[in-house]
Structure 1
Amino acid sequence: MNLRHLETFKTVAELSSFSKAADVLGVSKGLVSRHIRALESELACRLFFRTTRSVVLTEPGKELFGAAQQIDAISHKAAQSINMLTQDGYGYIRFTAPDALGPIIAETALPAFSKGNPNIHIELDFTTDIKDVEFGESDVALRSQKALPDNLVARDIGALKDILVCSPSLFEKHEIRSSSDLLTAPCLKSSFDTSWNNWTLHSGNGQSVQLTAKGQYSSSSYEGLIALAAGGLGVACIPLALVEKNLSDGSLMRVLPDWFASQHQLHLVYTHQRFYPKKLREFIDAVVAWRNANSIWFIT
């Protein structure tokens, strides 16, 4: 059923006049008549009793008019709901981030966003799968992938600063005073992405050194690498953001403090849209504000 024809029918029924309906709709009386005839032909019934003085609904016409009113109410409700979702601070934000960084963002960035957007529901998913954004399962993602599908926007927020850490007890056994000392020290390896075991270290005075981490122990997560390092089992190359607490409580110490590495160029990833909902814009701004407030965690 043609919805435009249905709208014409509803207007005629409300005004009990083809002429008045034509004026309200801004069309000719002839077009109004053609819309009604098309509906009557499609439904195989008469919708109006027409005389020179009145236009009255038939029994099928009354049934259709009731349905048209319901459709109109649903349409208005849907438009109102969508407007609330996109403009008025309602609805959901589905955010995904790596499981190492996600909890930090949840603790430090989301409270401020929630305070300014009390009616927004936040769904968190800590994973590294880029498809969750591409196929609409998440609204925005924090990712470090270098290659992204064409339908996604990647807003660069900077490269995480990785530092070398170990336990105080390991440092007593293997004093590491220069980058060359790492060649004989036990190092901890990533089994999640073996390319992360190729460390490119940069010093504050512009020097660079490349080496491959070698050691007996590996882990698929940063949480595991931190635990292994705290247990005195090797030197780990870890984002500063993840080990600040360990450095503060003394369970880890920084090795070669003038040197750093970077494995992760972070992006906020979301689908390309003609119109971005206000809630999404404000959420992205909140994550960028979190990054700026913690600039020490990033390479500048």
Structure 2
Amino acid sequence: MDWDKLRIFHAVADAGSLTHAGDVLHLSQSAVSRQVRALEESLNTTLFHRHARGLILTEQGELLFEATRAMSKRLDSAAARIRDSEEEVFGELRVTTTTGFGSLWLAPRLPALYEKFPDLKIDLMLEERVLDLPMREADVAIRMKEPSQADLIRKRLMSVRMLLYASPEYLARYGTPESIEDINTHRLICQNPTSAQVGAGANLVQHLMTYDIRSTLTVNNYFGVLQAVINHLGIGVLPDYLMQDFPNLVRVLPDVQSVEVPVFLAYPEEMRQSKRIAAFRDFVQDEIITYRKRMKDQALS
């Protein structure tokens, strides 16, 4: 099968248009069309349904596109490994983690990484969905549970718990609850138990909701919960890693907490020699050592 024709087919299938694919490939629309027709003739099948609004893959086209998509990801991986054979740390690094951890813990610490490696280009993908690392949806992941996918290198980084926090201003106005039963006289700010989140956080929220709380604010990520808490709206369920960067928050009901949530860093086995991943991994580990030391110092002070 002609590799060049497959490359052109993949671009057309990805763009859904001969014209757009031609722009990407720097070819004329007629040249792209000829190559697609030649590929269809060599396979003795129709790969696209032609419509006024564009091209739609046939069933056979979908099968071929799935294959070329996998090939493209493998080629990207090979190119990344070749680039990583250089001595310098540079190029794109796609990092995936949760919205809360990525926005509240990781992103504020990235200036130190860029200062050391100014030629890095980090694509930070914050979402609760678990991306497929072996299929190259991302290069490295920080996850709130041990990854189950095969062919991954895993390293446990730390553990977090979900705790209750409020601002001093809120507590001065509404009082500090002395027992968990008092929580029903306060506004609870948390993630909706049905939204995508770690099970430990959802379980804690479900438990708190059994106390007939009079007023709630639910948000679909911890960044929103934090913003509501620091603006004195109520008592929030938040991860304990926030305490270092928001020392003015007051922990409420110290006996109320979730079970531990393990935090893992993972990347594909085939990226073991990647200098970009090694630089990122070492940076995160160093930041966690610093974080733990500061938390210990805060606890002793």
Deviation (angstroms), 1:84: 4.3
2:18 — aligned with what? none
**Matched AA of 2:149:** P
Which of 256, 264, 285 is equivalent to 1:267? 264
Q: Tell me, yes or no, if the aligned pair for 2:146 and 2:263 is still in contact at 8 Å.
A: no
Q: Tell me, yes or no, if the aligned pair for 2:99 and 2:222 is still in contact at 8 Å.
A: no
Alignment of 1:279-290 (within 5 A): 279-290=276-287
Please, what is the CA RMSD of the aligned residues? 3.5
Q: What per-residue deviation string (whole Å, max 9, x for no partner) do you get for residues 262-282 of structure 1?
A: 563211121122742223222
Question: What is the distance in 1 between the residues matched to 2:79 and 2:228?
Answer: 54
2:216 — aligned with what? 216
Q: Tell me, yes or no, if the aligned pair for 1:161 and 1:262 is still in contact at 8 Å.
A: yes
Report which of the two structures shows the higher radius of gyration computed on alpha carbons: 1
Question: What is the distance in 1 between the residues matched to 2:202 and 2:137?
Answer: 31
**Matched AA of 2:208:** T
1:177 — aligned with what? 178
Question: What is the distance in 2 between the residues matched to 1:138 and 1:219?
Answer: 26
Matched, 1:198 2:203: yes
Matched, 1:254 2:254: no
Question: What is the distance in 2 between the residues matched to 1:169 and 1:116?
Answer: 39
2:84 — aligned with what? 85
Q: Tell me, yes or no, if the aligned pair for 2:147 and 2:264 is still in contact at 8 Å.
A: no
What's the TM-score, normalizing by structure 1?
Answer: 0.57
Deviation (angstroms), 1:179: 3.6
Deviation (angstroms), 1:146: 4.7
1:99 — aligned with what? 99
Q: CA 1:148 to 1:258, structure 2 compared with 1: closer, same or farther past 3 Å? A: same
Question: What is the distance in 1 between the residues matched to 2:295 and 2:257?
Answer: 11
Give the 3-state SS of the residue equivalent to 2:165 in structure 1. strand
Query: Mean alpha-carbon deviation: is it higher for 125-134 or for 279-288?
Result: 125-134
1:23 — aligned with what? none
Q: How many residues align?
A: 208
Deviation (angstroms), 1:175: 2.9
2:141 — aligned with what? 141
Give the 3-state SS of the residue equivalent to 1:226 in structure 2. helix
Deviation (angstroms), 1:236: 1.3
Gaps of at least 5 residues in structure 1 are: 1-78, 201-209
Question: What is the distance in 2 between the residues matched to 1:100 and 1:260?
Answer: 18
Question: What is the distance in 2 between the residues matched to 1:291 and 1:183?
Answer: 36
Give the 3-state SS of the residue equivalent to 1:199 in structure 2. helix
Give the 3-state SS of the residue equivalent to 2:96 in structure 1. strand
Q: What per-residue deviation string (whole Å, max 9, x for no partner) do you get for residues 21-51 of structure 1?
A: xxxxxxxxxxxxxxxxxxxxxxxxxxxxxxx
Question: What is the distance in 1 between the residues matched to 2:96 and 2:271?
Answer: 22
Q: CA 1:297 to 1:157, structure 2 compared with 1: closer, same or farther past 3 Å? A: farther
Question: What is the distance in 2 between the residues matched to 1:239 and 1:126?
Answer: 16
Deviation (angstroms), 1:149: 1.6
Ranges of 4+ aligned residues in structure 1 off by more than 6 Å: none
Deviation (angstroms), 1:157: 0.7
**Matched AA of 2:150:** D
Q: What per-residue deviation string (whole Å, max 9, x for no partner) do you get for residues 104-144 of structure 1?
A: 42332x34433443433322222232225242021101111
Question: What is the distance in 2 between the residues matched to 1:117 and 1:168?
Answer: 39
Q: Tell me, yes or no, if the aligned pair for 2:147 and 2:154 is still in contact at 8 Å.
A: no
2:288 — aligned with what? 291
What's the TM-score, normalizing by structure 2?
Answer: 0.57
Q: Tell me, yes or no, if the aligned pair for 2:95 and 2:125 is still in contact at 8 Å.
A: yes
Q: CA 1:99 to 1:86, structure 2 compared with 1: closer, same or farther past 3 Å? A: farther
Question: What is the distance in 2 between the residues matched to 1:278 and 1:234?
Answer: 45
**Matched AA of 2:251:** R
1:31 — aligned with what? none
Question: What is the distance in 1 between the residues matched to 2:154 and 2:259?
Answer: 19
2:227 — aligned with what? 227
Give the 3-state SS of the residue equivalent to 2:282 in structure 1. helix
